[in-house]
């Protein structure tokens, strides 16, 4: 259910970027979904479809979601490690739980392809 808020803010970013680049109709939107978020890909797709259907800008756009691993930095050994399991927030090198998430905890718009106003 909390995907709805994430999708709404993602759409605000998409609308802003489209306006900035004079895109009148988005065709493909590439986004990254980090494994450390608790968002489910199918729920993001579902809410996007519902909201996009109401908007001429996004109506026919394809949302392409790429799942990306998380990256942790360990505060004890300073190591950086890529992880794919959001339930294991520990450093695999020294077993410290004092880790800091560097990447993989957001839903990020990478780029938007669309048709410009002519």
Note the residues at the interface with Zn ion (CB under 5 A). 74, 76-77, 79, 91, 93-94, 96
Cβ-Cβ contacts under 8 Å for 80 (sequence gap 6 or more)? 71, 72, 73, 74, 102
Whose Cβ is closer to Zn ion: residue 100's or residue 113's?
A: 100
Report, in Å, the least distance between residue 83 CB and Zn ion: 12
14 or 74: whose CB is closer to Zn ion?
74
CB-count exposure of residue 88 (10 Å: 0-12, 13-18, 19+): exposed
Report in angstroms how near the CB of residue 94 gets to Zn ion at its nearest: 3
- Rank residues 15 and 79 by Cβ distance to Zn ion and give the closer one: 79
Tell the smallest beta-carbon distance from residue 67 to Zn ion (Å).
Answer: 25
């Amino acid at each position: 259910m909390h995907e709805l808020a994430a999708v709404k803010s993602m759409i605000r970013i998409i609308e802003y970027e489209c306006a900035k680049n004079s895109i009148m109709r988005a065709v493909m939107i590439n986004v990254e979904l980090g494994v450390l978020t608790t968002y489910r890909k199918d729920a993001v797709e579902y809410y996007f479809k519902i909201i996009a259907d109401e908007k001429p800008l996004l109506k026919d756009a394809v949302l392409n979601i790429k799942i990306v691993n998380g990256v942790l930095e360990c505060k004890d050994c300073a190591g950086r490690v890529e992880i794919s399991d959001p339930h294991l927030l520990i450093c695999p090198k020294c077993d410290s739980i004092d880790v800091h998430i560097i990447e993989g905890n957001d839903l990020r718009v990478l780029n938007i392809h669309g048709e410009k106003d002519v």
